[in-house]
Chain A
Amino acid sequence: MNYPSVTKITETTKENSDVKTLFFEYPKKIIPGQFFMIWIPGIDEIPMSASYFNSSIKAITFKRIGDATKALFELKKGDKIGVRGPYGNGFKVNGTRILFVGGGTGIATIAPSVKEAISKNISSTVILGVKNKNELFFENRIKKYGADVHISTDDGSKGHKGFATDLAKKLLEEKKFNSVLTCGPEIMMKKLLEISDGIHFQASLERYMKCGFGICGQCCVDKGLRVCVEGPVFDGITLKNIEDFGIFKRDATGRKVRF
């Protein structure tokens, strides 16, 4: 049922100065790319993708930005949150050679699919794109899975200097990939779609959400595609038809605002 289960935080990990992971008990089945609605009592309830999971423990990883994430950031082991879901479709992790591109907190969303790809013996190359090296997280974790990890920073403080998409372009020219999986800023994902021509493409979108189970209409894109039900992962063909992709999202009132 789409009602929050109250659960205790079992562990917290600080990934960098602004990014934290919260682990909690939530024994439901989930696939990479799906998300939860996380209720921070008295504050808000927000969609957040699973950054880690096993059969009993799940985790979310987030950056403190707004009121809700700031409140989440302060939570400690033993504190209570409400969790419902998992929601959405998730990534289809298959093929022989996948290029993963995680931008900013999008890294948290792709991490479980990298793990799954490696467990299926899929050759996995991962680009982690951030503004500067202090914002990086999950590098070691993803390396440990056995992926070929590349870093890109806007200011060149680590790895490739410039946009993650430029690095992706270079890798796509050097090697043959049969699939691209991405999560990050929508402008980055749109550019990535353009340069991944002819390769199977999946991107996870983020929209303001209320119900998470398809009835309020808050998260719709294009012709009534609900990011919470038909998404958050859309393939390249669908994305090419979504006029607003990489350009507009809707705010809480339903008005279109530019990215």
Chain B
Amino acid sequence: MDKDAGSMERIFNYGAGAIVTKSIGLNPREGYPNPTVVELEFGILNAMGLPNPSIEKFGDEIKKLKKFNIPIIGSIFGSNSKEFTELAKKMETFGVTAIELNMSCPHAKGYGLEIGSDPKLVKEITYNVKESTSIPVFVKISPNLPSVTEIAKSAESGNADGIVAINTVKAMKIDLDLKIPVLSNKVGGYSGKAIKPIGVRCVYEISQNVDIPVIGVGGITTGEDALEYIMAGASAIQIGSGIYYRGLDIFKKICDELEIWMKDHGHKNLSELIGVAHI
């Protein structure tokens, strides 16, 4: 629901505060053949393969949205500094509010995690994007790393304005009847309920070690899930798979649940709770 203007407008009207676009690259990509998404017992497994219409074509969608004053975070993926910079500049011209660098997609050759696991590259790309744009730049990182802290610190030293954690967890499902992996790409990324504890741990570790804000994502479906991320150190949260688990109005539901919890527990301001779990 993050690919076209109409869908993003619909999500916004269901109470989201901002919208992160589908990750966009320089050239059109069809993505992998199906099956690309399946539901498993405790989460969702996908290997879309970064399908996107190209930055050129995506401009139309953003321009349509600008009319409604919807804050848009433009997600981009490239294979080097030059590509990321070019994409970021274009996103800025389209009028996005901030940019998210996808350095964490676990299933695309030459992109995502393959870039995002190299601390030097993460710093260099972030630095170059920051130098060539004047809007906030967030770096989205993967949980599939020996040290999420190291990569988050690299992004910070490249002047990132925030860290987004986490992207999907690298995973596989084998079909017993056919004795083959169900995804056409074999390997995919796991999201949804099952990965929440992984995301919470990553946010906790990162926020302890960087001074820039952390945006929490991974398996959030309720206000209580959001609170866990906030207590771990997240200043904001994103929702993906939750749309499937609780419907498009999940944004409104979570806001209501947060309000009730705050009232019941005598808190006035969510910001009082950011990172309280660090003792």
A4–B175 touching, CB < 8 Å: yes
- Alpha-carbon distance A254/B178, docked complex (angstroms): 31
- Alpha-carbon distance A45/B52, docked complex (angstroms): 19
A223–B10 touching, CB < 8 Å: yes
A210–B54 touching, CB < 8 Å: no
Selected from A1, A42, A82, A222, the residue in CB contact (under 8 A) with B39 is A1
Which residues of A20-59 are within 8 A (CB) of B?
37, 39, 41-46
A222–B37 touching, CB < 8 Å: no
Which residues of B11-65 are within 8 A (CB) of A?
11, 22, 28-31, 33-41, 44, 46, 48, 51-54, 57-58
B243 within 8 A of A: yes
B241–A215 touching, CB < 8 Å: yes
The contact size tier of chain B is 35 or more
Q: A2, A45, A80, A222 — which one has the most chain B CB atoms within 10 A of its CB?
A: A45
A211–B53 touching, CB < 8 Å: no
A220 within 8 A of B: yes
B34–A215 touching, CB < 8 Å: no
A216 within 8 A of B: yes
Given A4-B182, A253-B30, the answer on whether A215 and B6 have CB atoms closer than 8 Å is no
Q: A214, A216, A223, A226 — which one has the most chain B CB atoms within 10 A of its CB?
A: A216
In the complex, chain B residues whose CB is within 8 Å of the CB of A214: 243-244
- Alpha-carbon distance A38/B208, docked complex (angstroms): 47
Number of A-B contacts (CB under 8 A): 121
Q: Which residue on A lies nearest to B44, using beta carbons?
A: A215
In the complex, chain B residues whose CB is within 8 Å of the CB of A211: 36-37, 46
User: What's the least CB distance linking A79 to chain B, in Å?
Assistant: 11
B3 within 8 A of A: yes
Given A80-B177, A224-B1, the answer on whether A45 and B30 have CB atoms closer than 8 Å is no
In the complex, chain A residues whose CB is within 8 Å of the CB of B39: 1-3, 213
B34–A217 touching, CB < 8 Å: no
Which residues of B160-196 are within 8 A (CB) of A?
175, 177-178, 180, 182, 184
Selected from A6, A42, A215, A226, the residue in CB contact (under 8 A) with B37 is A215
In the complex, chain B residues whose CB is within 8 Å of the CB of A37: 34-35
* Interface flags, A139-173, vs B, CB<8A=1, else 0: 00000000000000000000000000000000000
Given A253-B29, A254-B53, the answer on whether A42 and B180 have CB atoms closer than 8 Å is yes
- Alpha-carbon distance A82/B10, docked complex (angstroms): 32
A113 within 8 A of B: no
A65 within 8 A of B: no
Q: With A1-B39, A80-B178 given, can you name 12 additional A-B contacts, CB distance below 8 Å?
A: A37-B35, A39-B35, A82-B35, A82-B182, A217-B3, A217-B7, A217-B22, A220-B7, A223-B9, A254-B3, A254-B58, A255-B57
List, sorted by A's number, 9 A–B pairs whose CB atoms are closer than 8 Å: A4-B38, A37-B35, A39-B34, A44-B184, A46-B34, A224-B11, A225-B10, A253-B52, A255-B28
